[in-house]
Amino acid sequence: MSVHRSGTARVRRLTAAGTLLAAFSLLLTLPSAAATAPARGSAHMGMGVVQHDGRGGTPAGGNTAVAQTEGVDVAGYQGSVAWSTLWSSGVRWAYAKATEGTYYTNPSFAQQYNGSYNVGMIRGAYHFATPDTTSGAAQANYFVDHGGGWSRDGRTLPGTLDIEWNPYGAACYGKTASAMVSWIADFLNTYKARTGRDAVIYTATSWWTDCTGNYGGFAANNPLWIARYASDPGTLPAGWGFYTMWQYTSSGPTVGDHDKFNGALDRVQALANG
């Protein structure tokens, strides 16, 4: 009997050890939520472009028949920006992230927004939308109240709504295409009421197609800032016959995110003047 008990115990120990080993192996292969989910507030323009749209072509070019004016966009993770270096390299306009949702303001916003202005650039602010947290109107008001306003000084661009892949969860923020269109309209209408300007829409064609059903109703009033890291901006979302701005790379000099304005500097000034 003692031999039988010893053999049984040995089998149980081996079985338990095998179970633990299998469980440990499974844990090693599962992605870590803590490692993959970014901190709230850390989102920025183009965060999902490489992951969802891929990277191809040469990050340069554009419409060679039309003058293009170089710009940059920056966010909190880039900290203090060397604006004089960017100016010397030919950058003439810039956007800084001001807000996200109704819970985050960029701690480097003053240095970025005012620093670009102080070296001579035309500047603007952008808001990273999180349509699953609060209404479009609430986020537009939060944006305007925390740096996203507009002034008729000839060097301030209208605010931009950054609407793209959700870095914290479902790509379309759990909304149907019609609900997403309604949310965007709520933001845009509120921003216009607060500032008198139509906001710029920053997006990527693939996200816009998937999450708004390729809605074309904003194109008549809202300038398009298209994101595509390739040798050209590609197919544009429905309604827009041309882009106003194009984010063409996330690996440019001094700061990663570089952009082309679809026109000479006087066209940038015209957008600032409204």
Active site residues: 73, 162, 164
- What's the rounded Cα separation, in Å, for the pair 192 and 198? 5
Q: Cβ atoms within 10 A of the Cβ of 156, count? A: 20
The CA-atom distances, in angstroms, between 62 and each of 70, 103, 142, 243, 248 are 11, 36, 34, 11, 9
Give Dmax (Cα) for the chain: 96
Query: Is residue 205 within 8 Å of residue 234, measured between CB atoms?
Result: yes
Inter-helix orientation angle 177-195/136-143, to 10°: 30
- What's the rounded Cα separation, in Å, for the pair 173 and 139? 15
Phi and psi, residue 248, nearest 5°: -105, -10
* 212's tokens: 């708004």
- What's the rounded Cα separation, in Å, for the pair 4 and 129? 67
- What's the rounded Cα separation, in Å, for the pair 202 and 45? 8
